[in-house]
Amino acid sequence: MTLGWSDGVIFMLAAFSLLKSKKHQVNGVSKDIDKRSSGYKRRQEGLQTAPEQILGMLQRAMNAGIDPSYVLMDFWFTLPPSDQRHQRTGY
């Protein structure tokens, strides 16, 4: 998932996040991994749902000095998970 800044002509990557379910992890999160490491933090972040990751990505971009006037995203990011399932089935 990517977050970027655009002036209508140029698109610049501002933040990114890798999404992975627990079921599809190759190495997973080991108890032996140093919890202060960036690898541990990325693994934990990767287990979050996409809507949960949005706020963290926006916060990282704002901490880097990017002040968003607008935030645009696919509509399903704003729906609760149960509503997403209903949308997929057409009800």
**pLDDT single digits (tens) 30-89:** 677 777 877 777 777 777 777 778 888 888 888 888 887 888 877 777 666 655 555 565
Residue 15's pLDDT band, with cuts at 50, 70 and 90, is confident
- 25: phi then psi, degrees, rounded to nearest 5: -75, 140
How far is C-alpha 12 from the geometric centre of its chain's CA atoms? 17
Tokens for 22, please give them. 């627990």
What sections of 47-91 are H helices per DSSP? 50-63, 81-89
Residue 9's pLDDT band, with cuts at 50, 70 and 90, is very high
